[in-house]
Amino acid sequence: MKLNWRYGLIVALILTFFSMYPQLRLWYIRGSEWQGHYAYNDPDEVAYAAYLRSLIDGKPRRNDAYTGREDDVDESFLSIQFAAPYTIAIPARILGISAPTAFWLSGAIAAFLIGLSLFWLIGQITKNSLFAFTGSLFVMCFGPIISSWGAILGILGIGDPHPFHPIFRRYVPILAFLAFLLALNFVWLMLEETNQKRRILFCLLSAFCFSYCVFSYFYIWTALFALFICLTLLWLIFRPQDENLEQPLWKRDIYALLALLFGCLISLIPYAIMLANRAHSTDQVSGLASTREPYLKMIFSEGVYAKALTELICYLLLIIVVWLFALKIIKIRSRQTLFTLSLILTPIVTLNQQIITSKILQPFHYQLYIGNYVVTLAIVLVFWTVWQRLQSPFSRRLLIEICIIAVFWGFVECYYTVNPFDSVNVLRDESVPVAKRLTELARTEQKLGVVFVPNVEQGDDLPTLTSYPLLWTLHMHVFPDLTWQENKERLYQHLYFSGFRNAEQMFNLMERQKVFSIIAIFGWSRWTKLNPKAEPITYEEVINEAIAFEEYVKNFDPRKSPETVISYIIVPADWDFDFSNLDKFYERSKPEIHGRFLLYRTKLKSQNQEN
């Protein structure tokens, strides 16, 4: 049956609107005052955008967008996952598009293509355009609920409504997810195709998509690899046959799947080499931990039962498939059933791989950025087996009603999860004029000086707008050239110049802003949200850290740290900022006013001037 691509186009347009919602909202709020910035839907996007700008500017793959370093920089998860950013950076550089514009534009294009790819995948399997239309919307709109994150947390009053449609985070996982869907399409075509040359072509295309995922996003390539392995094992166990042909085709399919796995392993060789050359701080930053505990056991021991939803639904789907087989509604040896089973098993495997590998790396990323969408796709395909028996006007009306509910919930996800970012997105957009001024100054400077930005959210975002290095910011440690000790010393300087002087002030900060203190002071690996095996931070550690800060600032002299000597300061004009600590060491120029921000030039005082 030929697919009606008008349905696919509608899906693509709806997803494009959802992806663009944060940007549309910023345009609406700012109106004619919009300065050209993108609206982020996840705080981690600032690091990706900063790296993207560095590539657009022509910097090498291994560079640090926050410190400005380019020489002898080790591999980081950003430089290893280079395929997605280069997909955007190369055309952006050719066309002269800025990083902020490239960011929101690439997200919209990727969302559009995801809609078409998902419609194509479900349509190929079901041969029904209306069902593919409904299934595509179901997968994309209900994925956040399956992850137990998103708007539902705010609606039920049990947490912050975060994040915005997770798959639309730029530039990953959105580009990697597109490659993931294309890989599934090509695998299905490979299994269905009878022409040998075309099967080889689809196998190569699947392997290429896998390679793109490998060098784009860890959680998606590992999920795709797990899916391929599950698919191969299921084919070996059940040996599917084609009823229209006399001889079994499972051997032919197995050869194709093994060839695909071989192609995948080839792309993992350079990946392993790059990973072996990663910075020493990468494992600490990423929260890599050792355990062999099953995922459900870890979750239940924490008492956060909602996190178990993705895996529990997989077990429920397995029971339903067995029940449908017992009722002879489905054939266990059909390609469609085995493909669906591989989808069901994938989240179980990825969430529990530590049982074999003994390593666990922020497992919530699996249920948030890929496992939830794999599960919703499996739900759609299981429902298809039942829906085929309901061929009646009622069944068509049911699909239309599901579409309406899905689109409604998709908009609810947009509304509840984007609104909390309104103020910070406005702040970031208001920062564009002062960033443009820095860009102008950069043309006349041989070596760019360090910028001190007391507002952490503004500082985190500044490398997307200008190439000046920063004294410190929250995402600085994700780049590889800073040791954790150097990152902490930069943080101490940032706090000192922000007006902090003693252990008591430091202690109060850590008590007031616990998440900030965990991330910035103790490291991401100590945050139980990211690392389920993290050791809780003790009261004694907090006290010791406060004392260490006071000892550091007592002996602090910026001349001993030439790489962090400040050349510029950016502060909001309406802040009553305490410059006393900074004025001990620096001379400040008269401020330049750029929108709502003041830009100061600074010069290090001589020792005689200090005295």
Q: What is the 3-state secondary structure (H, E, C) of 241-263?
A: CCCCCCCCCHHHHHHHHHHHHHH
What's this model's pTM, rounded to 2 decimal places? 0.95
Closest CA to 231 of 338, 125, 336: 338
Task: Please name the residues in contact with 301: beta carbons below 8 A apart, sequence gap of 6 or more.
Answer: none
Q: Which residues of 122-152 are buried (b: 16+ CB within 10 A; e: fewer)?
A: bbebbebbbbbbbbbbbbbbbbbbbbbbbbb
Least confident of 89-103, 282-296, 314-328, 542-556: 282-296
pLDDT of residue 243: 53
Q: Kindly state the average pLDDT of the residues 240-247.
A: 59
DSSP-derived 3-state class of residue 224: helix
Q: What is the structure's pLDDT at 556?
A: 92
Backbone φ, ψ for residue 92 (5° rounding): -65, -40
pLDDT, tens only, 98-150: 999 999 999 999 999 999 999 999 999 999 999 999 999 999 999 999 998 99
What one-letter code names the amino acid at 196? Answer: Q
Q: Which of 293-307, 329-343, 497-511 has the lowest mean pLDDT?
A: 293-307
* Residue 244 confidence (pLDDT) above 80: no
Extents of the domains making up the chain: 5-17+25-32+107-420, 431-610
Count of other CB atoms within 10 angstroms of residue 395? 15
Backbone φ, ψ for residue 511 (5° rounding): -75, -35
Strand partners, 594: 597
**Biggest CA pair distance of the chain:** 96
Note the pLDDT of residue 317: 98
| Contact criterion met (CB below 8 Å) for 510 and 542 | yes
pLDDT tens digits, residue range 451-499?
A: 999 999 999 999 999 999 999 998 888 876 678 888 899 999 999 999 9
The larger pLDDT score, comparing residue 607 to residue 11, is at 11
Q: What is the pLDDT of residues 584-594, one digit of tens each?
A: 999 999 999 99
Q: Over the chain, what is the mean pLDDT?
A: 92
Q: How many residues does the chain have?
A: 611
**If you write DSSP's letter for every residue of 195-206 in order, what string do you get?**
-HHHHHHHHHHH
Query: pLDDT of 32-45, one tens digit each?
Result: 999 999 999 999 99
Report pLDDT for 217.
98
pLDDT of the residue at 154: 87
10 Å Cβ neighbour count for 355? 13
The tokens for 5 are: 């691509």
Q: Who has greater pLDDT, 156 or 601?
A: 601
Is the Cα dihedral 537, 542, 544, 550 positive or negative?
positive
Stronger pLDDT, 355 or 283, i.e. the higher one: 355
Neighbours of 431 (CB within 10 A): 28
Q: Rounded to an integer, what distance in angstroms lies between the CA atom of residue 359 and that of residue 275? A: 15
Q: Which residues contact 181 (CB under 8 A, 6 or more apart)?
A: 114, 117, 118, 121
- Which pLDDT score, from 0 to 100, does residue 242 have? 62
pLDDT digits (tens, 9 = 90+) for 426-455: 999 999 999 999 999 999 998 899 999 999
Give the pLDDT confidence score for residue 518 in this predicted structure.
Answer: 74
pLDDT digit string (tens) for 174-212?
999 999 999 999 999 999 998 999 999 999 999 999 999
State mean pLDDT over 211-233.
98
Q: Is the pLDDT of residue 240 over 90?
A: no
| Model pLDDT for residues 351-403, shown as the tens digit of each residue | 999 999 999 988 989 999 999 999 999 999 999 998 887 767 678 889 999 99
pLDDT band (50, 70, 90) for residue 507? confident
Q: Which amino acid is at 23?
A: Q
State which H helix or E strand residue 568 sits in.
Answer: strand 566-572
Q: Is the pLDDT of residue 81 over 60?
A: yes
- pLDDT bracket for residue 515 (50, 70, 90): confident
Query: Reduced to 3 states, what is the DSSP secondary structure of residue 295?
Result: helix
Quick one: pLDDT at residue 610?
Answer: 58
For residue 290, the cross-strand partners are 359
pLDDT at 159 over 60: yes
